[in-house]
Chain A
Amino acid sequence: MAKHYRCPMCRKICAEHLDLARHYLGQTDKKHKEWLKTQGLSYAALIKAQVTEFGNKGYQALADVLKKTAAEVEI
Chain B
Amino acid sequence: MKTIVTDFEYLPAKTVEEALELLAQHKDDDYKIIAGGQSLNTAMKHRLITPEYIIDIKGLSDLDYITFDEKSGLRIGALTTHRSLEKSPIIRDKYPVLAEMEENVASVETRNWGTVVGDLCNADPAVDPGPPLIALDAKVTIAGKGEERVVDAEEFAVDFFETLVQPGEMVTEIQIPALPPHSGVCFTKYSQIHGDYALASAAVLITLDESKKKCVNARIGLGGVGNAPVRAKKAEELLKGKEITEDLLAQAAGVASEETSPISGIEASAEYKKDLAGTLVKRVGKEALARAQKA
A and B touch in the complex (CB under 8 A): no
Q: Which residues of B contact A (CB under 8 A)?
A: none
Q: Which residues of A contact B (CB under 8 A)?
A: none
